[in-house]
Amino acid sequence: MFLLASLQLERIQHCLSVANLRTALQDLPSGVHDMYESAMSRIKCQPNGDLAKPILVWVAYAHPQASLLIEDLRCALATCIHTCEFNSDQLVDKEILISLCCGLVTLNEIGYVHLIHYTAYDYLRSRIASFCEDPHTEIASTCAGRLLQCGFHNMDSRSVSAKFIANPLLRYSHKYLGWHLRHCKSTPPIVISFVQRCKSYPLQEHSWGLRWDYLSSFHVAALFNIPFILESLIAQDTSQATRRTGLGTTPLMVAARYGHVDAVNILLNLQCVRDTINATDVNKRTALMKAGYRDHINVVYELLKVPGVDVTLEDDLGVTALMDAICFDQIDVCGSWHRQFKGLLALRSMGRHRNKRTACATL
């Protein structure tokens, strides 16, 4: 009821005369869907109606767990769709951006942008398809352009946090580019260019505390799971496939940690990668540990096929890969190791770990 009233108020507040108001009241749609249709019609009739389209794309297709700031949105709309470069001269006032959406988009008091109601997501996604064939490609291109323009392909370790503060949309781009790429119909050219140029791409994980690691193009191709870029890089220089970062991370560890089985298999086709299957990072964690910890069962299967993989290795806290799986109730992973190694490691680990239920389920 409140949603419908809000949309109806949005429609009539622009009436300039009593006669206009009477006409608008007589023509008011009675249902929410009809009000959405009415709002879209009014958007199209505006002189700058086309500017509302990318706003709707961003708000409807941004990561569902992300809070999109109005400054991020302004930055996205001031980015050239051809060069993917941000131009501050193209920035539009935030009140104008919201008004262009005719009530479908709201701005709260702390600067976050939302659709007016959750029902608007399904409606808009059905309508956006008529003017934007691949929303995720559009967003991913903007994110990659932002990362490139802000120098994230070759970052100085002292300036990451300062960059986030000074540059709108940069934090969103860094955090969610990979998610948008997984939903793209094809890899945008600007993303390919960005990955190939990466020499020192910053990445932070909880297991490293507050430390940043810096990734090469090999690592980033594995991070974003882009097989053809990874294969191209391998063809140029196979030795880089086992390159370690400052925190000891290999491309295989990155692919395993994020569950990218395609990238894992490409890397495992290389003898040099198989020979270093038990390599550890600064926390003495292997690719197998990283995959098991995140319950990436398909990656675990592939890693367990490699001759010489050591499932008994312990990290700097004395925890094995299976102990991690037991701790987090990952029965599929535990079962995989039990079938492979007759439950020996499970028996060895069970007495040291608090979660007996999962351990027993593997035996």
Tell whether 142 and 248 lie within a shared domain: no
User: What is the distance between the alpha carbons of residues 148 and 195, in angstroms, rounded to a whole number?
Assistant: 9
Tell whether 135 and 46 lie within a shared domain: yes
**Among 299, 292, 316, 313, CA closest to 207:** 316
Kindly list the distances between the CA atom of residue 20 and the CA atoms of 17, 24, 42, in Å, as whole numbers in the listed order: 5, 6, 15
Is 24 or 249 the better-scoring residue by pLDDT? 249
For residue 134, tell me if it sits in a domain. yes
For residue 225, tell me if it sits in a domain. yes
**Among 221, 208, 278, 291, CA closest to 247:** 208
Tell whether 267 and 208 lie within a shared domain: yes
Domain enclosing residue 163, as ranges? 32-186
Residue 22: pLDDT band with limits 50, 70, 90: very low
**How many domains, the chain?**
2
Is 272 or 5 the better-scoring residue by pLDDT? 272
Is 43 or 205 the better-scoring residue by pLDDT? 43
pLDDT value for 107: 95
User: What is the distance between the alpha carbons of residues 363 and 336, in angstroms, rounded to a whole number?
Assistant: 11
Tell whether 335 and 207 lie within a shared domain: yes
pLDDT greater than 90 at residue 39: no
- Rounded to the nearest angstrom, the gap between the alpha carbon of residue 96 and the centroid of all alpha carbons in its chain is 29
pLDDT value for 211: 85
Q: Please, how many CA atoms are within 13 Å of residue 25, restricted to the half-sphere of its CB?
A: 6
pLDDT greater than 60 at residue 27: no
pLDDT greater than 50 at residue 258: yes
Strand, helix or coil at 153? coil
Structure letter (DSSP) for residue 85: -
Size of the chain in residues: 363
Tell whether 36 and 182 lie within a shared domain: yes
pLDDT greater than 50 at residue 120: yes
Tell whether 234 and 321 lie within a shared domain: yes
For residue 131, tell me if it sits in a domain. yes
Which of 160, 186, 212 delimits the end of a domain? 186
271-322: pLDDT as tens digits: 999 999 999 999 999 999 999 888 898 999 899 999 999 988 999 999 888 7
Strand, helix or coil at 86? strand
Tell whether 208 and 91 lie within a shared domain: no
Contacts of 38-44 with CB under 8 Å at 24 or more apart are 38/7, 38/11, 39/7, 39/10, 39/11, 39/101, 39/102, 39/103, 39/104, 40/102, 40/104, 40/127, 42/11, 42/102, 43/100, 43/101, 43/102, 43/104
Residue 332: pLDDT band with limits 50, 70, 90: low
Tell whether 234 and 153 lie within a shared domain: no
pLDDT value for 312: 87
Tell whether 234 and 178 lie within a shared domain: no
Residue 88, Cβ density class (10 Å: 0-12 exposed, 13-18 middle, ≥19 buried): exposed
For residue 193, tell me if it sits in a domain. no
For residue 232, tell me if it sits in a domain. yes
pLDDT value for 4: 40
User: What is the distance between the alpha carbons of residues 253 and 288, in angstroms, rounded to a whole number?
Assistant: 8
For residue 41, tell me if it sits in a domain. yes
For residue 301, tell me if it sits in a domain. yes
Tell whether 170 and 208 lie within a shared domain: no
User: What is the distance between the alpha carbons of residues 210 and 247, in angstroms, rounded to a whole number?
Assistant: 12
- Is residue 243 within 8 Å of residue 231, measured between CB atoms? no
For residue 244, tell me if it sits in a domain. yes
- Rounded to the nearest angstrom, the gap between the alpha carbon of residue 17 and the centroid of all alpha carbons in its chain is 48
pLDDT value for 111: 95
Kindly list the distances between the CA atom of residue 204 and the CA atoms of 71, 181, 210, 213, in Å, as whole numbers in the listed order: 24, 19, 7, 6
What's the longest Cα–Cα distance across the chain? 84
What are the structure tokens assigned to 289, written together? 């540990």
Residue 70: pLDDT band with limits 50, 70, 90: very high
Does the global pTM surpass 0.85? no
Torsion angle of the four alpha carbons 269, 273, 276, 279, in this order, in degrees rounded to the nearest 10:
-120
Angle of helix 135-149 relative to helix 189-197, nearest 10 degrees?
Answer: 30
Tell whether 240 and 160 lie within a shared domain: no
The torsion angles phi and psi of 204, rounded to 5 degrees, stand at -130, 135
User: What is the distance between the alpha carbons of residues 328 and 324, in angstroms, rounded to a whole number?
Assistant: 6
Tell whether 48 and 170 lie within a shared domain: yes
β-strands 113-115, 201-204: how paired? unpaired
The amino acid at 173: S
pLDDT value for 158: 73
CATH of the domain at 271: 1.25.40.20
Average pLDDT of 331-349? 52
Sign of CA dihedral 41, 43, 44, 46: positive
The CA angle 116-164-193, to the nearest 5 degrees, is 95
pLDDT value for 24: 43
